[in-house]
Structure 1
């Protein structure tokens, strides 16, 4: 009697592990982009820094520039949840102090310095700029849905769509202003987080004038 042959090979990766691999690739790509430039960076180098093959890198991302996408998009769900929880009458710029700083990766977490350096690179690297702008383009409908839910309006109502566009533009302008100004980023993560927080509060205070 022949024994039933079981499945061999590695077990399939969990969704959580796949997401972690994407983040590891993103961090490695940014480090290489910052130290040697985008043009000089290859998929093989990115994979080697993570301990995977270039084939694995391309399985997760269609191009080397798109490898940074997880760092850009990490905060979308966090921000949308904050918008849903925004209590009427509470200043918008105060509601997001902690959440927005962490969502954009500038708090004292592992991605703080690299994300700021990456945003600076979007000014001179068209491929990275495209990924940066696409992330905000995809975030806007999520913000519009959150604002519509908060206000009890239909998802296709024009008002939350316009408000989301204003809010989204304020976020991008604030982060770019923070990342691009000055020659060097603050060495202390707490100082960097405080500076970003102040910039975000200023931008959101202006946006909130049209969001009440």
Structure 2
């Protein structure tokens, strides 16, 4: 599921492939199946700490009024450290926005060959015991709809995910990852994931304790609409 349900899992596991700057794309990750080093896990944890404090400050006093120095002070690090990890204050939230996409990518690597995409996500939501969306993530996704700079970071996270999704779908279908057909399929899946996250944040913004089942329902509805194609 998009970011709503996977952030704490990513922090605890230390294995999220976090995108730290719009100009870099996806961070170099450890080879699949290999646990990241202690140094990399600490870096990942710090990125998430910075992201959480940035969201808290953005929600409390607005994006414009928040400075990188305030984010650094809240985390307990120097401003130079924040700027070493992130090029702008708005990009500080990128780890949170990318975490759910990384979770989806990881799940797709275990997609059985005899199961449809819709059935696979339905089963994943059923057995993963998705936790409820946290207030911080709900606030962040809602803010991406009103703040242009945060919107750009949100779209960057999804744009970075497109080639990864395309490669996974190409492996599944046997088609070229660079083909137009694969690109359309990857964009459709990506759009459904983003729409599901935004719909959940909009519907349950006043209910931060909304269950993982409700998150799964939003994802299921979005994927069903995507798999129906364009009925026009």
| 1:121 match | 143
* 1:173 has 2:192 as partner: no
Pick from 53, 68, 78: which aligns with 2:78? 53
**Residue 170 of structure 1: CA displacement?**
1.0
1:135 to 157, 168, 176: 157
Q: In 1, are the aligned partners of 2:57 and 2:66 still within 8 Å (CA)?
A: yes
Deviation at 1:91, TM superposition (A): 4.2
Alpha-carbon shift at residue 181 of structure 1 (Å):
3.4
Residues 71-113 of structure 1 show CA distances to partners (whole Å, capped at 9, x for unaligned) of 0111333322333433355343342247579x9xx834xx822
Q: How many residues are aligned here?
A: 190
Using the TM superposition, name which of 78-87 and 38-47 deviates more. 78-87
1:67 aligns with 2:86: no
Which of 83, 92, 108 in structure 2 is aligned with 1:83?
108
Deviations 1:159-188 (A, max 9, x none): 221101111111111111221236x43142
Matched-pair contact (CA < 8 Å) for 1:92–1:205: no
> Which structure has the greater CA radius of gyration?
1
Residues 41-86 of structure 1 deviation map (CA, whole Å, 9 limit, x = unaligned) = 1112111111111111111111110000000111333322333433
Superposed counterparts of 1:186-201, under 5 Å: 186-188=207-209, 191-201=210-220
Larger mean CA deviation between 65-74 and 159-168 belongs to 159-168
Q: Deviations over 1:136-170 (max 9, x none)?
A: 11111110100001112232232221101111111
Out of 68, 86, 94, the residue aligned to residue 43 of structure 1 is: 68
Task: Give the direction of change, closer, same or farther, for the CA distance of 1:157–1:81 in structure 2 (3 Å limit).
Answer: farther
TM-score (norm 1): 0.80
What residue in structure 2 maps to residue 156 of structure 1?
178
User: Kindly tell me: are residues 166 and 73 of structure 1, through their superposed partners in 2, closer, same or farther at Cα, counting changes over 3 Å?
Assistant: same
The alpha carbon displacement at 1:115 in A equals 1.1
When normalised by structure 2's length, the TM-score is 0.73
Deviations 1:3-45 (A, max 9, x none): xxxxxxxxxx812111111110000000111111111111121
| Corresponding residue SS for 2:59 | helix
The aligned counterpart of 2:8 is none
Which runs of structure 2 are paired with 1:8-47 in the superposition (5 Å)? 14-47=39-72
| Structure 1 gap ranges (5+) | 1-12
Q: RMSD across aligned C-alpha pairs, in angstroms?
A: 2.4
* Structure 1 residues 140 and 50: alpha-carbon distance in aligned structure 2, compared to 1, 3 A threshold: same
Task: Report 1 or 2 for greater relative contact order, CA contacts < 8 Å, sequence distance ≥ 6.
Answer: 2
Is the 2:94–2:153 Cα contact (8 Å) retained in structure 1?
Answer: yes
Q: Distance in 2 between matches of 1:194 and 1:185?
A: 17
Preserved CA contact (<8 Å) 1:65 1:128: yes
